[in-house]
Chains A and B, each alone.
Chain A
Amino acid sequence: MSEVIVVTSGKGGVGKTTTTANVGTGLAAAGKKVVLIDTDIGLRNLDVVMGLENRIVYNLVDVVEGSCRVKQALIRDKRYPGLYLLPSAQTRDKTSVNESQMRKLVEQLKEQFDYVLLDCPAGIEQGFKNAIAGADRALVVTTPEVSAIRDADRIIGLLEANSFSQIDLCINRMRYDMVKRGDMMTVEDVVDILSVNLIGVIPDDENVVISTNQGEPLVGNHTQAGRAYKNICMRILGQEVPYLDLDRSLSFWTKVTGIFHKSQEGRA
């Protein structure tokens, strides 16, 4: 049975696109057939995060307007069998597509794929309405900051009003050193305030920037963020995965890099 998941947040810049890319790639790496749809018309980005920007021929608006067939617009990611991207249009705006068109498109894709992931634009206007139209499950991304949590709460309210049965929360850019100092809200604080099911916590990891620079999602690799994203994928697949003890692994890595730096100094 296929699932349609919308990745949304309300606020911009909290990591929707990065999360879509990594969760989608992780699900494909687990052997699922996955299609990622960038619904941010006018400001497309999922293609660059995935490193597929040079292979775009047709886009979402072309498909919806009937200028091409769905199959022609799908870009196959050569790194994983079963991973496809439907890019957004860069020179159009959000009003180029409506909700019923999105619903129809998603229905069509559901027949061929195990997972349809929709990368939602920031805001609560037409772009958001389009993105959630065909979805039956939502992944709400937030960061442990007042503004992002406030917007996430608003989004959760709107999703509930649209009778979403499953809403999961992903807390991004968690900094355990700041939590320890009492300068950042804890995972428990955020979950308590938003009162939704937590599906994963991604630590603030500079490797995310590096992976975006390279256009290669980091899910599944040895980095902290890579491991955390893999855990989210496994939880989406219905497996019970314990939460990473990031505090411990952080101090462990500090120790390791500490030794490394010392030895570098020794050599220099």
Chain B
Amino acid sequence: MRLPKLFRRRASREVARDRLKILLISDRVNCSPEMLDMIKQDIAKVISRYMMIDTKNMEIQISKSSVYGIGNKNPSLYANIPILDLHKSN
């Protein structure tokens, strides 16, 4: 019953959630999604010098509170970078 709907479009709930997540990252740090994307590319470039990483699936976000729950109120930059191979094969 739901299948035709699923093919037609993505649930708008997910669209809203994903848009908000990206929007709030830039709102919170006062930097644009483009700038965040540049940071992401630069980080990927540096790490790629030492190991093979999955640049397609890497995530970078700025969260309001510390990821590890340490008592500082400053926002923190959080990067999740899947490693494909620890030893870079030239």
**Residues in B whose Cβ lies below 8 Å from that of A179:** 13
Q: How many residues of B contact A (CB 8 A)?
A: 17
Question: How far apart sit A189 and B18, CA to CA, in the bound complex (Å)?
Answer: 10
**Residues in B whose Cβ lies below 8 Å from that of A184:** 12-13
Assess whether A149 is in contact with B20, with CB atoms less than 8 Å apart: yes
Question: How far apart sit A116 and B19, CA to CA, in the bound complex (Å)?
Answer: 37
Closest chain A residue, CB of each to CB of B23: A150
The reply on B88 being an interface residue by CB < 8 A is no
The smallest C-beta distance from B13 to any residue of chain A, in angstroms, reads: 5
Assess whether A146 is in contact with B65, with CB atoms less than 8 Å apart: no
Contact with B along A142-181 (1 / 0, CB 8 A): 0001100110011001001000000000000000000101
Assess whether B11 is in contact with A157, with CB atoms less than 8 Å apart: no
Assess whether A146 is in contact with B19, with CB atoms less than 8 Å apart: yes
The smallest C-beta distance from B59 to any residue of chain A, in angstroms, reads: 15
Closest chain B residue, CB of each to CB of A182: B11
**Residues in B whose Cβ lies below 8 Å from that of A189:** 13, 17
The smallest C-beta distance from B27 to any residue of chain A, in angstroms, reads: 6
Closest chain B residue, CB of each to CB of A192: B17
The smallest C-beta distance from B49 to any residue of chain A, in angstroms, reads: 35
Assess whether B28 is in contact with A157, with CB atoms less than 8 Å apart: yes
Question: How far apart sit A179 and B12, CA to CA, in the bound complex (Å)?
Answer: 10
Assess whether B65 is in contact with A153, with CB atoms less than 8 Å apart: no
Closest chain A residue, CB of each to CB of B10: A182
The reply on B45 being an interface residue by CB < 8 A is no
Contact with A along B5-39 (1 / 0, CB 8 A): 00000011110110111011001100000000000
Question: How far apart sit A34 and B42, CA to CA, in the bound complex (Å)?
Answer: 56
Closest chain B residue, CB of each to CB of A193: B20
The smallest C-beta distance from A189 to any residue of chain B, in angstroms, reads: 5
Assess whether B73 is in contact with A160, with CB atoms less than 8 Å apart: yes
The smallest C-beta distance from A9 to any residue of chain B, in angstroms, reads: 16
A185 and B17 in contact, given A153-B24, A153-B28, A154-B27 (Cβ under 8 angstroms):
yes
Closest chain B residue, CB of each to CB of A151: B27
Q: Which of B14, B16, B63, B73 contacts A146 (CB 8 A)?
A: B16
Assess whether A186 is in contact with B13, with CB atoms less than 8 Å apart: yes
Beyond A146-B19, A150-B20, 16 extra complex contacts between A and B, CB < 8 Å: A146-B16, A146-B23, A149-B20, A150-B27, A153-B24, A153-B27, A182-B11, A182-B12, A182-B14, A183-B12, A184-B12, A184-B13, A189-B17, A193-B21, A193-B24, A195-B63
Shortest beta-carbon contacts, A-B, top 8: A182-B11, A183-B12, A182-B13, A189-B17, A146-B16, A185-B13, A153-B24, A185-B16
Query: Can you list 10 A-B pairs, Cβ within 8 angstroms, ordered by A?
Result: A146-B23, A150-B20, A153-B24, A157-B28, A157-B64, A183-B12, A193-B21, A193-B24, A195-B64, A195-B65
